[in-house]
A and B are shown apart, each in its own frame.
Chain A
Amino acid sequence: MSARHYDVIVLGAGSAGLTAGIYLGRAKLKTLIINEGTVGGQMVLTHAVANYPGVLETGGFQLSQIMKQQARQFGCKIESNVEVTQLDLISKVKQVEIDHDEVYTADAVIIATGGKPRKLGLLSEDQFKGLGISYCATCDGDFYAGKDIIVVGGGNSALEEAVSLTKWVNSVTIIHQFDHFQAHQHAIDEATNHPKISFIMESEITKFLGNDTVEGVSIINKRTGETSVVPTNGVFIYIGYLPNSEKFKGIVDLSEYGEVIVDENMKSNLPGVFAAGDIRKKKYRQITTAVSDGTIAALSTIDYIQNLKNNFV
């Protein structure tokens, strides 16, 4: 095989992908990790990680840098910030093209592409990004000191970030599409008892208003159909995550939500194709569960490659 042939290609360099890389590299398998974004994935978005066993407290960025270093030390090659432009996961020899340019092949592929923050999908959302629309309270909260802002969402992230934003802002209005929250009770209690936080339930934003920056939003009440305008200086959006699985539609079996369906050994419906981390169908999504998935996927892949070399597959 050519120099561009690897035993395994791991798609994604979040906690699942990097863990898989560490195990594969340590098993002396020639491994390439291809990542469309920043190494670390959603782990990088976490400021403080206090529940990762064996580490009292660290930042998501710091943890990702150590995992990256470990994967490299065991011999993995990492290509980050590239675009996967073509995929063949069905043939016995898998093929991945990046940036319409380089083509790599492998005997097995682990899909660990994770998820991405869900957007509202409104036309003006990108136009106002950084000009009144934000996805990170700790990054941008101080720009809104003394202002009236909106937080969109009803899960843990939305309610916890709303409380966090009260350090800077005058008031927070939480807009949520349902009549109840999906968050844990402690997050609900903290938000509902906070004097700076109010709620508009069963409503959705239909338009961002403003010229250079956000000055308000149009909303619709989903139950009554009534529309209104809420003046605001900023909107923070926390409405969950979507799996990065567009490239695998029609190739690998996906759930109704676009997650890759795998068995307990992280095997997909395709021979030599495994999945790990937030991309796979499961209930709990934590760094620890992604690390566990990455470990299992790597060990299954090692078995698969061994059987392939022994002509058992």
Chain B
Amino acid sequence: MLATNLKHIKSEEEFFQAVENDENVMICCGRMGPMCIPVYDIMEDLEEKYEKVKFYDLDFDAPHAHVLRNHELSRTFMGLPFTFYFKNGKAVKATSSIQSKAQVKENLETYLLKD
């Protein structure tokens, strides 16, 4: 399990529950590496400010991570972490490798909260 303060997705069932039960979901799928840790840190900071979004992490090496590792949007990805944005159960945006706070906020605003 990842050593973050985010909610962890621990099974495939939890993954589907998370994306289907909430309108706006952001999931960071990675390891405890230098490119991933800053993104978890940013998400922890944004959790308070973005109450309409649910933030999760998912261990990239866990068996159930195949739901994002093999996702259509991540087929060309070659850098951790994979970051996914889900709107009403559908993946609307995904990014590969480290992201800045500004990039994460822009994706939240553009793909999840634009209405």
Contact = CB atoms under 8 A, between A and B. Distances in A.
B96 A130 contact: yes
Q: How large is the interface on A (under 10, 10 to 19, 20 to 34, 35 or more residues)?
A: 20 to 34
Contacts of A46: 34
Nearest to A129: B97
Contacts of B32: 59, 61
B6 interface: no
A134 B33 contact: no
B42 interface: yes
A45 B37 CA distance: 9
B78 A213 contact: yes
Nearest to B39: A38
A59 B78 CA distance: 24
Contacts of A45: 34
B37 A130 contact: no
B7 to A, nearest CB: 19
A130 B78 contact: yes
B78 A143 contact: yes
B37 A140 contact: no
Contact of B41 (A80, A131, A135, A143): A80
A139 B42 contact: no
A280 B94 CA distance: 38
Contacts of B95: 130
B79 A143 contact: yes
Most B-side CB within 10 Å, residue of A45, A144, A234: A45
B4 to A, nearest CB: 11
Contact of A234 (B42, B45, B78, B96): B78
Contact of B36 (A81, A139, A213): A139
A83 B76 CA distance: 32
A131 B34 contact: no
A38 B38 contact: yes
A136 B38 contact: no
B31 interface: yes
Contact of B78 (A39, A44, A47, A132): A132
A37 interface: yes
A39 B35 CA distance: 13
B96 A129 contact: yes
Interface string B45-71: 100000000000000000000000000
Interface string A37-57: 111100011110000000000
A138 interface: yes
Contact of B76 (A44, A59, A212): A212
A47 B34 contact: yes
6 contacts: A40-B37, A46-B34, A132-B78, A138-B34, A139-B35, A139-B79
Interface of A: 37-40, 44-47, 59-61, 80-81, 83, 129-136, 138-140, 143-144, 212-213, 234
Given A38-B41, A143-B78, 15 more contacts: A39-B41, A61-B37, A80-B41, A81-B42, A129-B98, A130-B79, A130-B96, A134-B79, A135-B35, A136-B33, A139-B34, A139-B80, A140-B79, A143-B77, A143-B79
Interface of B: 31-38, 41-42, 45, 76-80, 95-98, 101-102
Q: Across chains A and B, which 5 residue pairs bring their CB atoms closest together, nearest first?
A: A130-B96, A130-B97, A130-B79, A143-B78, A45-B34
